[in-house]
Amino acid sequence: MNVNSLIVNTSMADALDVIGDRWSLLVLRDVFLGVRRFEQLRKNTGASRATLTRRLESFVLNDILYKCLYSTTGKRFEYRLTEKGLGLFSASLLSWQWECLWVEHANNVLPKRLFHSSCNYELTPVAVCQHCKKNVEISDVEWPDLSQHLDLQFQEITAKNKQRRVRSSVRSGLEDLSLVHVSSLIGDRWSLLIIIASFLGVDRYDAFQKQLSIASNILTGRLNLLVEVGVLKRFSYQDNPPRNEYRLTEKGKSLFPLVMVMRQWAIDWVLKGNAAEVLTHKCCNQPLVVDVQCQCCKQKPWPRDVQFQHFDA
């Protein structure tokens, strides 16, 4: 089993190229809320003109949004969601949920609640197995042995990594700070690889290095960061020489459904259903296909049925 091959095979890399960074998540959030025009998106997200232009171009190129003329006189366009873009709504809901659950000040900038008009209840989105409808949890998923084709896949992921700079999660006070944490974790390829390796049970420094073929300075930096943000916890298992283990905290484990939902989107929309590898859901012994549903009415949430509420608890 190799984590690099898993992430490349699942086309997580493609999903992340589209939605992995914070600006993309913010733009998508606003598009799901019904914002369609450039100036309004710029005002809401706080993105610079250049940044927003790049993100929108990338969304159009990747068939997430399409441009639609709304004024023939000024040749003005607005941005609308494609079917593929609409498919990202679930991942967007789960990112929002994770950030609200785990980041203390998130409530200042994110809506506190979601309301589901299909059932008239507060919306709690849950990732479930399409077959048996049980919630998707780490311990219930069996991973395949993917030890072949390592060289090629490793080259691919390294090449993609070089194009991506690590983002600082500290921003100036003027910007919209929502989704900073979740995007700094899933938007950074190495952090995500380490998190996935942890899902697979890797916990020692040497094992991470072997699984990920990662330079030691990068590995040390990312492990420290993940401990700092509370996704991993460090345990000493040997004093002389000192050696540590890194285990997922509850906060780290709760990223699992989000990662699985992003994987499912990549399989459905990028790989057109042809996942190179199959994960098995141990509860029903079926290949894992992930759905997102409202915990209350079991329906799949769509933007038109979901209202964001900013009231206090």
Residues that bind Zn ion (CB under 5 A): 116, 118-119, 129, 131-132, 281, 283-284, 294, 296-297
Distance in Å, CB of 263 to Zn ion, minimum: 15
Nearer CB in complex with Zn ion: 70/302: 302
Phi-psi region of 140 (alpha: psi -120 to 50; beta: other; left: phi over 0): alpha
Distance between CA 50 and CA 197 in Å, rounded?
35
Distance between CA 143 and CA 120 in Å, rounded?
38
Nearer CB in complex with Zn ion: 82/118: 118
Distance between CA 261 and CA 268 in Å, rounded?
10
Q: What ranges make up the beta strands (E) of the chain?
A: 65-71, 76-81, 113-116, 121-122, 125-129, 141-142, 232-238, 243-248, 280-281, 286-287, 290-294, 306-309
Nearer CB in complex with Zn ion: 46/303: 303
Nearer CB in complex with Zn ion: 118/307: 118
Nearer CB in complex with Zn ion: 130/209: 130
Structure tokens at 253: 């484990």
Residue 277: DSSP 8-state: S
Residue 138: DSSP 8-state: G
Distance in Å, CB of 144 to Zn ion, minimum: 16
Distance in Å, CB of 240 to Zn ion, minimum: 46
Distance between CA 106 and CA 17 in Å, rounded?
24
φ, ψ of residue 180 to 5 degrees: the values are -60, -45
Distance in Å, CB of 19 to Zn ion, minimum: 24
Distance in Å, CB of 274 to Zn ion, minimum: 21
Distance in Å, CB of 256 to Zn ion, minimum: 15
Nearer CB in complex with Zn ion: 41/123: 123
- Residue whose token pair is 């006189």: 73
Structure tokens at 27: 């733009």
Rg of the chain (C-alpha set) = 20
Distance in Å, CB of 277 to Zn ion, minimum: 17
Nearer CB in complex with Zn ion: 61/132: 132
